[in-house]
Structure 1
């Protein structure tokens, strides 16, 4: 099930329930105000600087995602652009508070040890990538793991990883979020992977254990180490702001990055 709460009610208890796999996710309906959604429609939906996602080029995005990093050249470009990309998302919601900044503040307030941007070798990361899923495109079943994209010399003691998606536009048909109650090992995941450049063929999996349709303005946080997917959308794009959240233990701050 999803724990459905108000934004002001977000607490370490809900986050810990998700970390402990007691719930499939946390849902905050109406996390983004109608005024902020209208600002996004004017300034973000058709942004001229959106480009193809490096590891899944059927998607477009605004801002480089950490999962696109395959070599040191891309890594340096990612970090050099991080602050500018954060500001670009922030500016798209002016004169209102960016919902990504709102999430960052609420995580810092909810978690006893606070929350802050991930840095890699002293270089700040970006958070708040905007993804555009066009009609007819699905996000195939997959998992996400920070360690796959870190520099070879750097490994972190990450105990868990969460994924936050803020829904700016959800089509009337399609775009449902699917979650399987399956957290594959590295070997299991490699065995399941398909011929596509990422992810798993649906015919290798049973039906999803949990499916939900987000609505415009919702925030949903899940555990992306469990297999998850998005069904194909129809007629209009599905547009989201997203961030990963890293957990190092109860006595450490949360971290976030995109």
Structure 2
């Protein structure tokens, strides 16, 4: 269910889009010493907590945090390009791993890859997460059409991917868990209640870990 590759290419991206695999793993995306050094540089100036998940640190703002609230949506767009620049500056003199990833996707996919635009405005890429010891991510899904329900562009996506670049890993924990189960947005909202996600114990063993 997981495809290990040395580099991204059109074939592996198509496999992911066609749901032939659950995930693609590029081992050694960055040399470990460089990854740790970049991770330390990113963390040095500090970070904030998610609006709807304050126990998890982040640099930048995820669009789903806006939860269709006009003022938060405006705040997201106002900060989008400056947050990209902030991450780039924190990584300097090294390349931001997200910039490297964007170049690789652009080179691999025939139609290229570029920043998403929504409502005529550039979106943010490069959300940096900080998960402290003892904090567990809840199971969640990312559905652009749910976050931007009035956007035909969001609703017309044929596939949506998420990408994690791991920079500084603990000796224990930190595994990615995925479930190959279809849960409708309404079912997800019912199960999560007031939280951003679902207790993994409610979903049974993950398909991939």
TM-score, normalised to structure 1's length? 0.75
| Uncovered stretches (5+) of structure 2, i.e. residues with no partner | none
**Matched residue of 1:115: which SS?**
coil
Quote the offset at 1:35 in angstroms. Answer: 5.5
Indicate the residue corresponding to 1:143 in structure 2. 141
Counterparts in 2 of 1:197 and 1:108: CA distance versus 1, 3 Å:
same
Aligned runs of 1:120-131 on 2, under 5 Å? 120-131=118-129
For residue 181 of structure 2, give the secondary structure of its aligned residue in structure 1.
coil
Counterpart residue number, 1:107: 105
The structural deviation recorded for 1:38 is: 4.4
Partners of 1:51 and 1:102 lie apart in 2 by 24
- Match of 1:229? none
Q: SS of 1:164's equivalent?
A: coil
Aligned to 2:182: 183
Aligned to 1:154: 151
| Alignment partners' CA distance in 2, 1:35 and 1:173 | 19
Relative to 1, partners in 2 of residues 1:160 and 1:41: Cα closer, same or farther, differing over 3 Å? Answer: closer
- Give the C-alpha shift of residue 34 in structure 1: 4.1
Whether the aligned pair in 2 keeps the contact of 1:107 and 1:115 (CA below 8 Å) is: yes
Partners of 2:131 and 2:195 in 1: CA distance? 17
Indicate how the Cα distance of structure 1 residues 38 and 175 shifts in structure 2: closer, same or farther if over 3 A, else same.
closer
Q: 1:34 and 1:179 mapped to 2: Cα distance?
A: 24
Provide the residue aligned with 2:163 in structure 1: 164
Corresponding residue for 1:15? Answer: 13
Specify the SS of the correspondent of 1:127.
coil
Q: Give distance in 2, aligned partners of 1:81 and 1:112.
A: 30
- Which deviations, in whole Å up to 9, do the C-alpha atoms of 1:25-83 show, x marking residues without a partner? 111111123463244244212323x1110121111100111111131111111111111
The structure showing larger relative contact order (alpha-carbon pairs under 8 Å, at least 6 residues apart) is 1
Once superposed, which parts of structure 1, at least 4 consecutive aligned residues long, lie more than 6 Å away? Answer: none
Instruction: Check whether the contact 1:141–1:199 (CA below 8 A) recurs between aligned residues.
Output: yes
| Distance apart, 1:18 and its partner CA | 0.9
More strand by share: 1
Q: Shift of residue 125 of structure 1?
A: 0.7
- Over 3 Å counting, the alpha-carbon distance change for 1:35 and 1:93 in structure 2 is farther
Please say if 1:64 is aligned against 2:44: no
Q: Give 1 or 2: higher helix fraction.
A: 2
- Residues 112 and 182 of structure 1: CA distance in aligned 2, closer, same or farther (over 3 Å): same
Corresponding residue for 2:5?
A: 5
- Matched residue SS, 2:152: coil
Gaps of 5+ in 1: 212-258
